[in-house]
A and B are shown apart, each in its own frame.
Chain A
């Protein structure tokens, strides 16, 4: 049996939930593949993993895997995950969201989760559009781009999700694309084993809506574009802002050891117990 088939048999609910709902050529399948390969390498058992997802095309990802899964509402995946992690910190909680989920309706949760620094892994598939509802502009739709609600060009400016996560205080932030599948595998693995709030922004493509409306071609052309604009972060640091215009930096944007919320909570409890104990013994 081929290695990929073994993984499919091990991790995917291939006899129950397939065929999936994603369009042929969608990047979500690459993200799903990267995720199960990364989990396989980390050595976590299937039952140690909780995969939490929101609403949108990415929300279906949790349906297809044989982990503990929690399919939540639009934008709230991180809050459900926060509860899971606090109640049972032994669980390895991975949250999959889309750009709408994580940076529009759930944008507040995203920045606060980054700031709080629980040991969670957040994977954000950024396809620049609300795909499932028919291609309305999202917070990552580029300025001037065409969408179902911006027929003559988007007037708003896009978030840079990974940079937002860094600024909001995430312990680890990485970015890759669905074209760079091997690189994506590595980032996913690092994000899962990282202690603290780890974010992987995955640049993907919605050729069905975003690509078609903006005449960017099919999945092949859009992935070629990902290849062309991607610059490794190490190289990007040697480039001028002008040279970086229109480029997407990929790699690990930040990796820092920050106090983790659950550890901090234990520390405060210990300190309080000691203080109260000292008080009562006086």
Chain B
């Protein structure tokens, strides 16, 4: 662990409450949200912090998620540091507005407590909600535990509000599995956060002294250029994200990377997982290493912008890459993450065989034994040549 400079206090806390404290420490100025399980505890706690006077912010519980994110645009357009949180159907209902937030360059921070999409109705965890919002043009990161949820919720504001970036960010955390558990984590004090995260200075905002037009119409002559601008900005945000993560690493001793590696030294077999299941996979990797299997784990933290180079570097030397998706792209290639990873690795001269296993849909439990079973199956499949495009692991019937 790197040396840290900031004062830290270790506490036991529900992860949702930790996220709300992160938002408080970041001195969010405006919050609009709508209740949806399993995101509710974050916003409820923020509402009490606002009502108590512990957080000097505006708060409104609006009439739908569509209204929540639209209200957030208004808040951000007026120049406020803006936060919201949602899940599943709520994120889907926001969809129309999500593209507008990023294209109009509002640095809104949103927590998505990842949950399966209907139908069938499920309140449990998977990544189908966020994969439906893959192309919204936001920065998107995934966290593995409560500490990461706290850290990234603070860092998100600093990344988003950089004038070279000015893009919204989603911090994805697994619903219930993270949002509703109590974990031990290190809080950072207000003075440290204040030093790390200066007050938000909008580049453009609605101001009667300096009127601007927002949300203007684009003719075919300019629409493509606006998209290119967005694409370049999002891609380049990578550098700023790493700078912020480095700075946080120096402050706290917790250094984050676009692709995290766990026991990947000399690994011939790699697993790639996003979110909290990576901790389960770590246990499986330890057990397989004890048995002499050269297996390691990659955790894809940065989903947008996609970290092409980090991924290519991380898989270098591996013969088999097993991508475990938490969502299903129906009628297509199976897992959306596997699809993007395989595409990213395609130009490499020497690349691992990439196989896709879809696990943990709609809250189905995944244990270390399942991960070990997947590795065994993938090894067999790799030696015989892939039989299917992907596997829906553990499915009955």
Contacts and interface: CB of A to CB of B under 8 A. Distances in A.
Given A73-B89, A134-B35, A139 B47 contact: no
B36 interface: yes
A74 B118 CA distance: 11
Contact of B61 (A71, A75, A132, A136): A136
Interface stretch (B37-45, B129-137, B263-271): B37-45
B44 A149 contact: yes
Nearest to A71: B121
**What is the interface of chain A mostly: helix, strand, loop, or mixed?**
loop
A107 B63 contact: yes
B89 A132 contact: no
Interface in A88-138: 104-105, 107, 130, 132-134, 136-137
B63 A148 contact: no
Given A73-B118, A149-B44, A149-B47, A137 B61 contact: yes
A137 B43 CA distance: 12
Nearest to B38: A133
A104 B33 CA distance: 13
A18 interface: no
A132 B37 contact: yes
- Give the bracket for the number of chain B residues in contact with chain A: 20 to 34
B36 to A, nearest CB: 7
Contact of B34 (A105, A132, A134, A151): A105
A148 B37 contact: no
Contacts of B93: 105
Interface string A68-94: 000101110000000000000000000
B36 A133 contact: yes
A139 B62 CA distance: 9
Interface in B1-51: 34-37, 40-41, 43-44, 47-48, 51
Nearest to B63: A104
Interface string B50-69: 01100000010101110000
A150 interface: yes
A132 B40 CA distance: 11
Interface string B63-84: 1110000000000000000000
A56 to B, nearest CB: 10
B39 to A, nearest CB: 9
Interface string B304-327: 000000000000000000000000
Contacts of A107: 63
Contacts of A73: 89, 118
A71 B51 CA distance: 36
A149 B63 contact: no
A104 B51 contact: no
B89 A151 contact: no
27 contacts: A55-B89, A71-B121, A73-B118, A104-B63, A104-B64, A105-B34, A105-B63, A105-B93, A107-B63, A133-B35, A134-B35, A134-B37, A134-B40, A134-B44, A136-B40, A136-B43, A136-B44, A137-B61, A148-B40, A148-B44, A149-B35, A149-B59, A149-B61, A150-B51, A150-B61, A151-B48, A151-B52
Interface of B: 34-37, 40-41, 43-44, 47-48, 51-52, 59, 61, 63-65, 89, 93, 118, 121
Interface of A: 55, 71, 73-75, 104-105, 107, 130, 132-134, 136-137, 139, 148-152
Give me the 9 closest cross-chain CB pairs, A-B, nearest first: A105-B64, A133-B35, A104-B63, A149-B47, A136-B35, A149-B61, A148-B44, A152-B51, A151-B48
